[in-house]
Amino acid sequence: MQITKAVIPAAGLGTRLRPVTDVLPKELLPVVTKPSLYLVLEEALKSGLKEIILVVSPAKKSFFEHLKEVFPKLAFQFVIQKEPKGLGHAVLMADQAVGPNPFMILLPDIIIDHPKPVCLQLIKVFQKINRSVNATERVPRDQVSLYGVYEMASREGRLHKAKRVVEKPPPEKALSDFVVTGRYLFTPDIFEVLKKTPPGRNGEIQLADAMNTLAGRGELYAYEFEGLHMDIGNPVGLIRANIYFGKKEYGKSIYQGLV
């Protein structure tokens, strides 16, 4: 089955990057010479995706309308999320736009660089197992509280069958050091699960809680992707991404004259 649609939740306030995000959405902050969202959309294009569903706030919609001209090979649809109620709620808003087929979720503040795009890696896995499969990687134990964390039931090479998912546990209570990493491929069953998922951490509908339900049913897998992951939703991550892509594009010349 061909995967053609991706949901990009872009209604967040970008509070960790204020005050710059008070005037410009975090999804459009520059990584060298490109708005960061462009890098995510390029990954989508290289993976064969054709339709992008942007979940945006009313105030941010106008910032993204130019994307139709910049990416003419992608069809864009905007879904309005009037107030941020969690990632799970943002995804649920896209239910009607996605329809009855499997789809991807791409977090716009996560950039993953690899010659074979992570979206495409997940699509190839899905074509073999026909089950929801999300990207994962291992992180140091003192960082697990920044992520959703998996407990794995079994593994075969890079592919793991998930047993549980917990959102941002303290390190001493983490189920493992395998974390949820901003790229997801779901069957449409996720929408019915989200509709029945009560508010969790911070009073929000958490996607991780819905994933935990799928894992409990034996219907969720996690794939150890190949690539370098950068979280640009915080100042240090944004700086690292600019250094990484700046060096990749301009070489050591970017350090000239710096102490």
Structural domains of the chain sorted by starting position, each given as residue range(s) with its CATH number in brackets: 5-250 (3.90.550.10)
pLDDT of residue 171: 85
pLDDT of residue 172: 85
Q: Are 125 and 159 in contact (CB under 8 A)?
A: yes
**What digits encode the pLDDT tens for the residues 81-119?**
888 788 999 999 999 999 999 999 999 999 999 999 999
Higher pLDDT pick, 20 / 104: 104
**What digits encode the pLDDT tens for the residues 146-175?**
888 898 988 899 999 999 998 888 888 888
Instruction: Write the DSSP assignment of the chain as a string of letters.
Output: ----EEEEE-----GGGTTGGGTS-GGGSEETTEEHHHHHHHHHHHTT--EEEEEE-TTTHHHHTTHHHH-TTSEEEEEE-SS---HHHHHHTTHHHH-SS-EEEE-TTEEEE-SS-HHHHHHHHHHHH-SEEEEEEE--GGGGGGSEEEEEEEEETTEEEEEEEEES--GGG-S-SEEEEEEEEE-THHHHHHHTPPP-GGGS--HHHHHHHHHHTT-EEEEE--SEEEETTSHHHHHHHHHHHHHHHHGGGGGTT--
Q: What is the pTM of this model?
A: 0.91
pLDDT of residue 236: 92
**What digits encode the pLDDT tens for the residues 222-248?**
999 999 999 998 999 999 999 999 888
**What digits encode the pLDDT tens for the residues 114-156?**
999 999 999 999 999 999 999 999 999 888 888 888 989 888 9
**Alpha-carbon distance 241 to 233, whole Å?**
11
pLDDT of residue 11: 83
On the question of pLDDT at 20 being above 90, the answer is no
Higher pLDDT pick, 48 / 59: 48
What are the distances in angstroms from CA 209 to CA 155, 190, 238?
22, 11, 28
pLDDT of residue 258: 61
On the question of pLDDT at 205 being above 60, the answer is yes
* Span of 95-104, 185-194, 200-209, 214-223 with lowest mean pLDDT: 200-209
**What digits encode the pLDDT tens for the residues 25-37?**
889 999 998 999 9
**Alpha-carbon distance 69 to 92, whole Å?**
27
